[in-house]
C-alpha cells in the first residue's frame, strides 16, 4: 500500500513510519497541512493517517475540503482528544476512522488494513489468477497451494500487478506505488524485482513484459 502519514510529533511519526515500512508499505510523511495538500495533489494514497491538530491548523478543515470535491481517500484521524463530541465532529467531517492517542501500534496497522480494503472495492481479499493466489489480508502468496516467501517490495509489486491483472502497468506506476518519496530506488530496480518474482513464482510464467510500457500479470500465452 501507499500511505500518507501526517503527524507533527517527529518521534511518533518516525516510529509509525518505521513500522509501516517494515510491513512492506510505501510511506510519505508530512507534519503540516500545507505539505499534506501538496502530497495529496501529486499522488494517490490507499490510506491517509492524519493527526487532528497540526502547527498550521485543524485538519478537520482539510477533511472537509477533500470530501467537498468528492475525494474518497480513506482517512484515519489521530488525536489526543478523547471526548465523544470530538469523535463525532471528526467522523461527521469526513473521517473514516478515529484513533485516540496513545494507541497500540498493532491496532493502528489493523485499522489501516481495514480502511484500505474498504476503500478499494475492486480489490478482493484474495486475488487469483490461474493457480496463483495473492492474499492481500495476510500478505501471503501461494502457487498451486504452496506458500512462496517474498520480500516486502516483491510482494508490493506483485500485489499491484494482481490488482490490475490483464492490464499493462507502466514502470512509473510501479515505482510510484511501491516506493515513497524518501526512497531513491536504482534506475532498474523494478526489473530486478520482476526477475526475482519470476524466479520465485516458477513456470509457467505469469508476469509478462509489455515492451515500451512495463509489465502485466496474465496467464495468456503470448508466444
User: What structural domains does the chain harbor?
Assistant: 2-118 (3.40.50.2300), 126-217 (1.10.10.10)
Residue 113 neighbours by CB distance under 10 Å: 17
Enter the DSSP assignment of 150. -
Q: Averaged over 62-84, what is the pLDDT?
A: 86
Rounded to whole angstroms, what are the CA distances from 109 to 31, 98, 106, 219?
A: 20, 13, 5, 33
Binned at pLDDT 50, 70 and 90, residue 220 comes out as low
pLDDT for position 223: 46
pLDDT of 32 strictly over 60: yes
On average, the pLDDT of the chain sits at 86
pLDDT for position 122: 42
pLDDT of 190 strictly over 80: yes
Q: What is the pLDDT of residues 100-140, one digit of tens each?
A: 889 999 999 999 988 887 765 444 468 889 999 998 777 78
Q: Averaged over 139-156, what is the pLDDT?
A: 90
pLDDT of 182 strictly over 90: no
Binned at pLDDT 50, 70 and 90, residue 74 comes out as very high
Residue 68 neighbours by CB distance under 10 Å: 9
Residue 103 neighbours by CB distance under 10 Å: 12
Backbone angles phi, psi at 56, to 5 degrees: -105, 20
Query: Of 26-35, 154-163, 169-178, 181-190, which has the strongest mean pLDDT?
Result: 26-35
State the virtual CA torsion across 187, 189, 191, 195 in degrees, nearest 10.
160
pLDDT of 161 strictly over 60: yes
State the cell numbers at 97.
476512522
pLDDT of 206 strictly over 90: yes
Q: Averaged over 11-33, what is the pLDDT?
A: 92
Binned at pLDDT 50, 70 and 90, residue 221 comes out as low
pLDDT of 55 strictly over 90: yes
Q: Averaged over 171-199, what is the pLDDT?
A: 79
More confident residue, 41 or 195: 195
pLDDT of 185 strictly over 80: no
Amino acid at each position: 500500500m501507499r500511505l500518507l502519514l501526517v503527524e507533527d510529533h517527529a518521534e511518533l511519526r518516525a516510529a509509525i513510519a518505521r513500522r509501516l515500512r517494515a510491513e512492506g508499505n510505501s510511506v510519505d510523511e508530512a507534519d503540516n497541512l500545507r505539505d499534506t495538500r501538496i502530497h495529496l495533489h501529486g499522488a494517490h494514497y490507499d490510506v491517509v493517517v492524519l493527526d487532528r491538530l497540526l502547527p498550521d491548523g485543524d485538519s478537520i478543515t482539510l477533511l472537509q475540503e477533500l470530501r467537498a470535491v468528492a475525494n474518497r481517500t480513506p482517512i484515519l484521524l489521530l488525536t489526543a482528544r478523547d471526548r465523544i463530541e470530538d469523535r463525532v465532529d471528526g467522523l461527521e467531517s469526513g473521517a473514516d476512522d478515529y484513533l485516540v492517542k496513545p494507541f497500540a501500534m498493532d491496532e493502528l496497522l489493523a485499522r489501516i488494513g481495514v480502511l484500505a480494503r474498504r476503500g478499494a472495492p475492486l480489490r478482493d481479499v484474495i486475488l487469483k489468477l490461474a493457480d496463483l493466489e495473492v492474499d492481500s489480508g495476510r500478505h501471503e502468496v501461494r502457487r498451486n497451494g504452496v506458500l512462496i516467501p517474498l520480500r516486502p517490495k516483491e510482494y508490493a509489486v506483485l500485489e499491484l500487478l494482481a490488482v490490475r491483472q490483464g492490464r499493462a502497468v507502466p514502470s512509473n506506476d510501479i515505482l510510484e506505488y511501491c516506493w515513497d518519496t524518501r526512497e531513491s530506488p536504482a534506475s532498474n530496480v523494478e526489473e530486478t524485482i520482476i526477475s526475482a518474482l519470476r524466479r520465485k513464482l516458477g513456470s509457467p510464467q505469469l508476469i509478462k513484459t509489455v515492451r515500451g510500457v512495463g509489465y502485466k500479470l496474465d496467464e495468456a500465452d503470448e508466444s
